[in-house]
Chain A
């Protein structure tokens, strides 16, 4: 679907549904600030989708910045490196962003001593010498996961299963979540490095073409990246109409190249691989600078936050330190969210550590932090019209409520990408996505038990 703007530029977007919440990108023009290294970091061993990493350090061990402290424990898993230098204080169960107690490595910081192999010079290293295999191996060793929030180990996506081929790389610079601006800032400030990362990814995937999808509410980023792209063959920018959830893989591929992934399949089915701009930058650092993933850009924002901003912080930094840097927790705080307002997770405390997937910390004032009372479904069909997957959320909720799992499966409950557009839109404030999630859990279980 295309839309004309000013008679010349053609903006694309995805075909079905979508919403446009208030953007509230308060921190969009705040340059990235480097946050001081905290006195203690907490590094959960499960920061990615897949098997948690296995700790390979013990209490009392001295570590350097960039040293592996927990090793990938399978193909779908990722290494974890120490983001600071110091001593391992303990390995303990701590509450992380999921709200559950999980194993984490606590390190007491001493100085800031880096592994000697890491190139810390500020120069941009342009020439690409690594082979596809070397790039993949570096990405895997550096513990890179999808930095858009999904935290899927990057090397897995870059290794298409036998029989499947990839012909295009799509780089996700959409940042469709309201409030968040970390990807926006990264594109403006690290665009050149990010595009070298894109070229590395292209080589790893053996593709000739890459598209960077950026929504039209970031005209400066579109302009900047487009200019940089002129010198790079095969890489181009696709400006996109602002529409949530365009950052979803399926929606982004549809928007950029008009291919729709069939139900239950992965992007590789249509010959595409999607990586986030932050991931591309991390790939640049890993391959060109030998630097593992030990820090990330995170937006700290909210309607009553005094100094909303973007921060480069070490993994394991307590959220509280980041909130402090943004002017402290506002008086009227009702909810603190890890991520954006549409798909982020409400945190149980602000002492939770920053992890690889944390793209933002959003602080919601009390009066908008609670849900409104649930009313009867009035069958207005707004949930159906906004669903980007073409599902019937009202029906899926009823089926999940009544535990009719076979019908829920028939109605493609597993296709739901949990974007929350239905719950956002519902005039009766019905918890559509809550029930659909419940249903997905059950139906997924049933489907897995069937194939065993």
Chain B
């Protein structure tokens, strides 16, 4: 008889894997990709493909030739970063800039810290913010949905709802008047607005979130606290002064809030490990987002808010421990 295998317990495994989770995220992003292709057409296709291929290629090259280790691209995490980076870019951005963004995201954002699971910041956001600061003009020109389906670099551009409102409120126009200049809430929810490739369609992102929750890829804590704190904070502002503050529904459906809350803030590596930590982290992101949107220089703030809270994650992990068994001194003897 062959020798028996001897190893310590447990002897069974759930069958969960890095691949399953990463490909699960990709599947969850497909509805948003479909919406992006529907509204932005050829530009969305070029940007998405370029970004994914570039991220996968850069990770492969760095892993094989710089670190001299087996390539890890098949685990799907580089493709997730590529997809998320693309979703955060306008669909008329030149290929050269996408390559720079992908190189920064994978090279600096991920591999320089040790690769999978080691990145302190969300790699796709590192790439995105690098481009936003370095190429502000190209990063804030937004193709108009539907009409620019068949054009890429020469797409007709327009403002995003969030920037229309931000500028309008800045000049003292009341929110109620500005609201007539932007698409209806239904259009916003369906994604008929200017914006980054994957951030537009709330409904598609919501389907993706539900998929991830059912598949137990993520838990509800971060998405719900981010969205919840934004709604509460903007709701309070709107209640106090409805003319100079936009209402919560508007904030929810614009500026990539849902993309950020569902897919970027929930990045495993850069978010906290305990439930309490996740709640604090989510609330922090929500509050910072509203502060930037309302009082900061940029119209949209979730990218920066996530990166800022990413920086707090180690601290949160150190002080926000999971609830321990037997801690609530439980000697309530009958």
Please give me the residue from chain B that is nearest to A431 by CB atom. B8
Most chain B beta carbons < 10 A, residue from A341, A368, A382 = A382
Q: Mark B1-20, 1 if CB is under 8 A from A, else 0.
A: 10011111111111011101
CB nearest neighbor in A for B272: A381
Residues of B within 8 A of A364 (CB): 11
Q: Which of B18, B275, B321, B325 has the most CB of A within 10 A?
A: B325
- A343-B322 CB under 8 A given contacts A375-B18, A376-B118, A378-B21: no
* A279 at the binding interface (Cβ < 8 Å): no
Binds B, one of A34-42, A51-59, A138-146, A390-398: A390-398
Query: Complex: how many Å from CA A265 to CA B274?
Result: 25
What are 17 A-B residue pairs whose CB atoms fall within 8 Å in the complex? Answer: A15-B325, A19-B14, A259-B331, A271-B331, A335-B4, A335-B6, A335-B7, A345-B9, A347-B6, A366-B5, A378-B21, A378-B116, A379-B268, A384-B322, A390-B325, A392-B274, A428-B18
Assess whether A346 is in contact with B118, with CB atoms less than 8 Å apart: no
CA separation between A382 and B114, bound complex, in Å? 21
Residues of A within 8 A of B (CB): 15-16, 19, 21, 99, 167-168, 178, 250, 254, 258-263, 265, 269-271, 329, 333-337, 341-350, 362, 364, 366, 368-372, 375-382, 384-385, 387-392, 394-395, 412, 415, 418, 420-421, 423-429, 431, 433-434, 437
Using a CB-CB cutoff of 8 Å, which residues 301-334 of chain B contact chain A?
Answer: 317, 321-334
Contacts of B269 in A (CB 8 A): 378-379
Give B261-308 interface residues, CB cut-off 8 Å to A. Answer: 268-269, 271-275, 278
The reply to whether B325 and A424 form a contact with Cβ atoms under 8 Å apart is no
Q: Which residues of B contact A366 (CB under 8 A)?
A: 5
- A259-B330, A263-B324, A392-B322 known; A426 vs B16 contact (CB < 8 Å): yes
Across the interface, name the chain B residue whose C-beta is closest to A179.
B12
A-B contact count (CB 8 A): 184
Known: A21-B12, A99-B6. A380 touches B17 (CB 8 A): no
Q: State in angstroms the CA–CA spacing of A369 and B7 once bound together.
A: 9
Contacts of A381 in B (CB 8 A): 219, 268, 272-274, 278
With A341-B10, A384-B274, A425-B14 as given contacts, are A250 and B326 in contact (CB-CB < 8 Å)?
Answer: yes
Q: Are B12 and A260 in contact (CB under 8 A)?
A: no
Asked whether, in the complex, the Cβ of B75 is within 8 Å of the Cβ of A261, the reply is no
A265, A349, A394, A415: the one within 8 Å of B273 (CB): A394
Check if A372 sits within 8 Å of B13, measured CB to CB.
yes
Task: Report Cα–Cα, A421/B330, bound state, in Å.
Answer: 24
Instruction: Knowing A376-B117, A384-B322 are in contact, say whether A346-B4 is a contact too (CB < 8 A).
Output: yes
Determine how close the nearest CB of chain A comes to the CB of B77; give it in whole angstroms: 8
B12 touches A390 (CB 8 A): no
Q: Is B115 an interface residue (CB 8 A)?
A: yes
Residues of B close to A431: CB separation below 8 A:
8
A269 x B331 contact (CB < 8 A) = yes
| Alpha-carbon separation in the docked complex, A385 to B329 (Å) | 21
CB within 8 Å for A348 and B326 given contacts A270-B331, A384-B273: no
Contact in complex: B274, A335 (CB < 8 Å): no
Q: How many residues of B contact A (CB 8 A)?
A: 48
Cβ A344 vs Cβ B11 within 8 A: yes
Q: Are B75 and A375 in contact (CB under 8 A)?
A: yes
Residue of A whose beta carbon sits closest to that of B77: A378
**CB atoms of A378 and B322 under 8 A apart:** no
- Given the known interface contacts A21-B14, A335-B5, A424-B14, the answer about A260 and B275 at a Cβ–Cβ threshold of 8 Å is no
- Complex contact B117–A346 (CB within 8 A): no
Given A336-B4, A369-B5, A427-B16, the answer on whether A260 and B326 have CB atoms closer than 8 Å is: yes
Contact between B325 and A415, CB atoms less than 8 A apart: yes
Contact (A346, B330) CB under 8 Å given A333-B4, A379-B117: no
Q: Is the CB of B10 within 8 A of A427?
A: no
Residue on A nearest B119 in the bound complex, by CB: A379
> Measured between alpha carbons, how far is A137 from B16 in the docked complex, in Å?
50
Q: How far is the CB of A46 from chain B (nearest CB, A)?
A: 20
Q: Which residues of A contact B7 (CB under 8 A)?
A: 335, 346, 370-371
Q: What is the interface of chain B, defined by CB distance below 8 A to chain A? A: 1, 4-14, 16-18, 20-21, 75, 77, 114-118, 219, 268-269, 271-275, 278, 317, 321-334
Q: Evaluate contact between B4 and A349: CB separation under 8 angstroms.
A: yes
Contact assessment for B75 and A167 in the assembled complex, using a CB-CB cutoff below 8 Å: no
Q: B residues within 8 A CB of A427?
A: 16-18, 20-21
Complexed CA–CA distance, A395 and B11 (Å): 22
Tell me the complex Cα distance, A428–B18, Å: 6
The 9 closest A-B pairs by CB, nearest first: A420-B10, A260-B330, A390-B324, A378-B117, A260-B326, A427-B16, A376-B117, A346-B6, A381-B273
Q: Is the CB of B14 within 8 A of A250?
A: no
Chain B residue with minimal CB distance to A22? B12
Identify which of A262, A333, A341 gathers the most chain B CB atoms within 10 Å of its CB: A262
- Taking CB atoms, residues of chain B closer than 8 Å to A394 are 273
CA distance A293 to B13 in the complex (A): 35
Q: Which residues of chain B come closer than 8 Å to A424, judged between CB atoms? A: 10, 12-14
Give the contacting residue for A344; candidates B9, B20, B272, B332; CB below 8 A.
B9
With A334-B5, A424-B12 known as contacts, the answer to whether A390 contacts B18 (CB < 8 A) is no
Question: What residues on B are CB-neighbors of A262 within 8 Å?
Answer: 326-327, 329-331
Tell which of B11, B18, B325 touches A389, judged by Cβ atoms closer than 8 Å: B325
How far apart are the CA atoms of A421 and B13 in the complex, in Å?
9
Given A364-B11, A426-B16, A427-B20; A378-B268 close (CB under 8 Å): yes
Q: Closest CB of chain B to A332's CB: distance in Å?
A: 10
- Smallest CB gap from B278: residue in A: A381
Contact B1 A329 (CB under 8 A): yes
Contact (Cβ within 8 A) B4 A390:
no
In the complex, the answer to whether B10 meets A415 with C-beta atoms within 8 Å is no
Further 19 A-B residue pairs, CB within 8 A, beyond A260-B325, A260-B328, A335-B4: A250-B326, A259-B332, A260-B327, A263-B325, A337-B9, A342-B11, A346-B5, A346-B8, A369-B5, A378-B21, A378-B269, A384-B273, A384-B274, A385-B219, A390-B325, A420-B9, A420-B10, A424-B12, A428-B117
Q: Pick the residue among A343, A388, A437 that contacts B325 (CB under 8 A).
A: A388
Q: How far is the CA of A165 from the CA of B319 in the complex (A)?
A: 36
Q: Chain A residues near B219 (CB, 8 Å)?
A: 381, 385
The distance from the CB of A398 to the nearest CB of chain B, in whole angstroms, is 12
CB-CB < 8 A to A369: which residues of B?
Answer: 5, 11
Q: Which residues of A contact B271 (CB under 8 A)?
A: 379
A433 touches B10 (CB 8 A): yes
| B275 A392 Cβ-Cβ under 8 A | no
On whether A271 and B16 interact (CB within 8 A), knowing A420-B9, A420-B10, the answer reads no
Flag if A337 contacts B11 (CB, 8 Å).
Answer: yes
- Which residue of chain A lies nearest to B20 when distances are taken between CB atoms in the complex? A427
Chain B residues, CB < 8 A from A412: 324
A271 to B334, CA, bound (A): 9
Question: Which chain B residues lie closer than 8 Å to A348 at the CB level?
Answer: 4, 6
Question: Which A residue sits closest to B321, measured CB to CB?
Answer: A392
Bound Cα distance from A128 to B118, whole angstroms: 64
Given A260-B326, A262-B329, A270-B333, also A375-B116 (CB < 8 A): yes
Measured CB to CB, the nearest residue on chain B to A165 is: B333
